[in-house]
Amino acid sequence: MFFNEYHKIIKKINSTKNMQELSSYLESLEMGKADPLKREKFTQIFIQKYSKFDEEIFPYIIDYYYSQESLEEFEIACKLLKNLYLKVAFLTNLESIKINREKFKMLLPVIVQIVMDSFSGIADCMYLILLNNTAYYDEINREDRKTITRSLYKIGMELDYLQEKKMKPTQEMLMNLEIMVDLAKEFNDNKILDFVERTLDLNCNEVSLFALNTLIYNNKNVSDECIEAIAKDPVTAERFYRLLKRNNRLFRFPEAYLTLENLSLSNMVNWLRHPAELGRSPDDIQLVKVFEYEQEMFYIYKYKCDLEKFKDKGYMIGISGGYVNKDEENLEPSGYTFSNFTTFVDEKQSEEECIKIIHQIKEMWKKEYAKAKEQGKA
């Protein structure tokens, strides 16, 4: 009877107003507890009747089953991806959801199929899942590894297309290249590494950041000039530092730029560039002072942004920190980088604002810890 009334399921899902309501409905169906036959028939409703679903809602159905703990429900997400990746309009940030080894093994054939067949953002999502689960690469057999490697030849195809059309890459193309170039470091293939080196000619530091890291990781020769350009750019310096440190290649970071002055500026700029903040680099940013508070060093900046929302504020205050010492292996902040977008008045006021931010963040951490402890997660 359940399967003869599939239209009711479609109608109910299409009428949900938000993710919480959708999740509650899908949870009520208890597919994780259903027998395999019932679960398979349920999955086929989504696959065979896909055109009946609201295409803006459907990606969240995949998201729901992908994020569930049970392998049975995760399998539903895998089957939906396998059968519908050429139809779904988009995917949510599945790459940000942690999966274990068993789930990775279950998803791997789907990843291999999608990255080989697709040029879309859905393929990018699969590449990012690979990037976030390198600990499970021993599960990738020789044939699948070859297929993933061949899929990365798309780097060369995109570069050839740009050259043939004599056009500049779109933002979407650059994002796609960043992801593939980053993943290329895990699949040491000389042909791919040649493509990666060619991306340096795009003169886009955000792509070059990952290209240089991949080439250095695979012991390829890269010019000091290219490395210096990335190490001194506020948009890329800190991320380049983190990448090289993570891959035990920090010795390639130019000593002249391996300073807290350079990296704290980059840290502040990248915080401001987040879509939830300015969403772009500030139009101007200047160091106000460095001060010590509770045995940590904090860098106070004043910055301005010409966007309509912020231009009347003039210079605003931002803080990067805290930094414990100047050891080159530990030039990362402890989590206090922030801005309330408060207008800068003078040095004294900016220091008071930054102390306020430090306590504000500490209170937020205390509340998060108390909540996690209450939920048994701390």
Q: Answer yes or no: is 133 within a domain.
A: no
pLDDT string in tens for the chain (378-residue length): 455 567 788 888 889 888 899 999 999 988 888 889 889 988 998 999 899 899 999 999 999 999 999 999 999 999 999 999 999 989 999 999 999 999 999 999 999 999 999 888 899 999 999 999 999 999 999 999 999 999 999 999 999 999 999 999 999 999 999 999 999 999 989 999 999 999 999 999 999 999 999 999 999 999 999 999 999 999 999 999 999 998 899 999 999 999 999 999 999 999 999 999 999 999 999 999 999 999 999 999 999 999 999 999 999 999 999 998 766 678 999 999 999 999 999 999 999 999 999 999 999 999 888 887 777 665
Count of domains in the chain?
1
Instruction: Show Cβ contacts of residue 200 under 8 Å, excluding neighbours closer than 6 positions.
Output: 208, 211, 212, 226
Kindly report, residue by residue over 249-304, the tens digit of the pLDDT: 999 999 999 999 999 999 999 999 999 999 999 999 999 999 999 999 999 999 99
95 located within any domain: no
What pLDDT score does 326 carry? 65
Cα angle value 308/311/316 (rounded, 5°):
135
Name the pTM for this structure: 0.88
Residue 119 belongs to a domain: no
In contact, 300 and 310? CB cutoff 8 Å: no
State the Cα–Cα distance between residues 285 and 306, nearest whole angstrom. 12
In a domain, residue 326? The reply is yes
Domain that holds residue 325: 263-378
Find the farthest-apart pair of alpha carbons in the chain and give their distance in angstroms, rounded: 72
Q: Are 189 and 211 in contact (CB under 8 A)?
A: no
What does the alpha-carbon distance between residue 145 and residue 156 come to, in Å, rounded to a whole number?
18
Which pLDDT belongs to residue 1? 45
Strand order through the sheet with 316-323: 284-293, 296-304, 316-323
Q: Which amino acid is at 105?
A: K
The CB density around residue 225, as the number of other CB atoms within 10 Å, is 7
Examine residue 82 and state whether it is found in any structural domain, yes or no. no
pLDDT of the residue at 179 = 96
The pLDDT assigned to 378 comes to 56
Long-range contacts of 330-338 (CB under 8 A, 24+ apart): 331/241, 331/258, 331/259, 331/260, 331/263, 332/241, 332/242, 332/263, 333/264, 333/267, 334/296, 335/361, 336/296, 336/298, 336/361, 337/267, 337/268, 337/271, 338/271
Q: Is residue 66 part of a domain?
A: no
Residue 342 belongs to a domain: yes
User: Is 193 part of a structural domain of the chain?
Assistant: no
Q: How far apart are CA 198 and CA 91, in angstroms?
A: 30
